[in-house]
Amino acid sequence: MLFEQILFFIAGLGAIGGALGVVMLRNPFYSVLSLVGHLIALALLFLLLRADFLAAAQVVVYAGAVMVLYVFVVAYVGGSDEPLRPEGGGVSALGPLFALALFVELTIAVVGSSLGALDSPGRDIAAGFGSPGEIGKLLLTDFLVAFEAASFLLLVAAVGAVVLARKRRGLEDPETAPGVMSAHDAISGPKEAAR
Q: If residue 164 lies in a helix (H) or strand (E), which one and from where to where?
A: helix 144-165
Angle at which helices 144-165 and 132-140 pack, to 10 degrees? 90
Q: How far apart are CA 139 and CA 147, in angstroms?
A: 6
User: How many residues would you count in the chain?
Assistant: 195
Residue 66 in contact with other proteins, rule: CB under 8 A: yes
146 near other proteins, judged by CB under 8 A: yes
Binding flag, residue 75, other proteins (CB under 8 A) = no
Q: Give residues 14-43 in contact with other proteins (rule: CB under 8 A).
A: 15-16, 19-20, 22-23, 28, 31-32, 35, 38-39, 42
Is 107 a binding residue for other proteins by CB under 8 A? The answer is yes
122 Rama sector, left if φ>0, alpha if ψ -120 to 50, beta otherwise: left
- Could you say which of 10, 37, 49, 60 contacts other proteins (CB under 8 A)? 49
Total binding residues for other proteins by CB under 8 A?
93
Does the footprint of other proteins cover residue 145 (CB under 8 A)? no
132 binds other proteins (CB under 8 A): no
CB of 193 to other proteins, least distance (A): 11
Structural contact between residues 69 and 157, judged by C-beta atoms closer than 8 angstroms: no
Does 133 sit near other proteins (CB under 8 A)? no
**Residue 55 CB burial class (10 angstroms; 0-12, 13-18, ≥19):** buried
